[in-house]
Structure 1
Amino acid sequence: MPEETTLRFAVAQSTVHEDPTNATLLRESGDEVRGLMRQAATAGARLVHFTEGAICFPSKRVMSSLGPDEIGPSDWTKADWAVLQDELDQITRLAGQLGIWTVIPSVHQLPDARPHNSAYVVSDKGQVVARYDDRALSTTKVTWMYTPGTAPVTFELDGYRFGLAIGLDMLFPEFFTEYDRLGVDAVLVSYASTHGPNRHIGVQACGTAANNTCWISLAVTANSQTGLVAGVTNPRGEWVAQAPEDGRPAIAVAELRLDDWTDVGRTFRRRTRERISS
């Protein structure tokens, strides 16, 4: 790919609510997402990427059939699925109206099993073209809340290949090595952080980018207490764009580009892996 070929994209930090039974909060989240989509489109972004829980990040205590004081199997019949779906539908339609690709995480309902913790890829035509299901679920999530995903997911836009990751996927280097083997140029990581400091996630994003000579987009919760802000790292592991550190809902815009240095890193790893495995 010529060095001058670039793709402008936006990463968002947004408010995360934890109660999928509360229609008012679900509507507030949807409104905020759509406002940030409009900001990204105005900034000329071809794609906007949102955090895990952008519509809702269901709390284990809210969903527990034994709770809220005791954690047990989630009772998903309590979720307002109609409002959740309506908010997702509105986001999908707006993506088509604005002509902007949108990666929007949400809970994906399954007919005979616990739902997936997912990220939808919506094209600039307003169509869902891919869905990634969280694989590295926490102990609580996999025991009481969700059905884990099983495979990586990629999509292509303007000659670039993107991979998707959610939450604790960030802690597993093998997922990103897998994406490297799939020829991904950038991985869009959606990470919800609602309690306590999580600065190490930003450090790991930079290290992962450098180790795989790929771009990393990190979409996070709008919460200054976590020590995380949304941002984009280049393939050298350097932040090239970050949202405000005060934790307010916002976007950061970056220009994705590929160069010879990126190709050198990929070629070296491919040849070395072939030599080691032979």
Structure 2
Amino acid sequence: MERVPAHGIEVFLAIVREGSMRAAADVLGVGAPTVTLQLKALEELLGIGLLFRTTRGIQLTDAGRVLFDAAAPAHRDLTYAIKKTREMAKSTTGTLRLSLSREAYIAALAPALGEYLAKNPGIKLNISWDEEPVDLVRHGIHGGIRMGDVLTPDMIAVRVTPPIKSAFFASPSYLQTHGIPKRPRDLLNHQCIRQRLPTSVTPREWWVLEDGQDKRLDPPARLIFDSAEGVIQAARDGHGVGWSTRLTLEEHFSRGDLEPLLEPYVKDLPPFYIYYPEQNKRVECLKLLVEFLRSKLRKTPGN
């Protein structure tokens, strides 16, 4: 594929429009010798003269007229497209596409959503509800929110929440029948309800803090779901003990349909991060959301 000598054509068009080499140099913000050299280089590349000087100024050759008639509208359209693209990057209006899990929504976005929308009335959020990371670039998504900052090298991650508390839980009816676990090892003798990612066949690991150390638990699972909602519902129905982020459970604890367990042993999980591809860092709508969530985090005690 033949490459277009864009700089040379831009110089050529400026000379024709302005009527002289010096006027074109002033418009382009370069020296007159640079304009002369770039025009000469373009003519040598094309193998034909494009302009000649007369007592009345600059005149087009026949080849120059062909090039100008074709290139001028194309350059105008390209300039307009670049202008509109830059305006989109700086625009505070438009649709911002995000990918996040239910936990990410509850922890990072929901507490700030009302204020964010009120401050940015021109921005619409198009949210993809995904329980595991998706290819943002492939799906045309501006950014995502996920727990932890372990991402591919081409992603930027910005922390937007404190560490997240976890919780073990079960229904009062289950505990009345099977007893209350006192230590993490007691879970090995209970019916456990665990969660796996939609694309995984194995459940997520359970973690506790015991004797000052992080310890992994792998109790046998009677039920396995591919969503936290399934684990919570099964626990409410009295089928066993579950483990999840506490923020998804507070309403159930308040109502009494679930009870927290093993509270001295619960472990904090990593914070949530908003992440996005390097090429999206100049998208103004995304920049506004990132800075807004960061400002909310800075106001959180201990951050």
Common fold: TM-score over 0.5: no
Q: So what's the TM-score if we normalise by structure 2?
A: 0.19
Q: So what's the TM-score if we normalise by structure 1?
A: 0.20
Mark the structure with the bigger radius of gyration: 2
Q: Which has the higher helix share?
A: 2
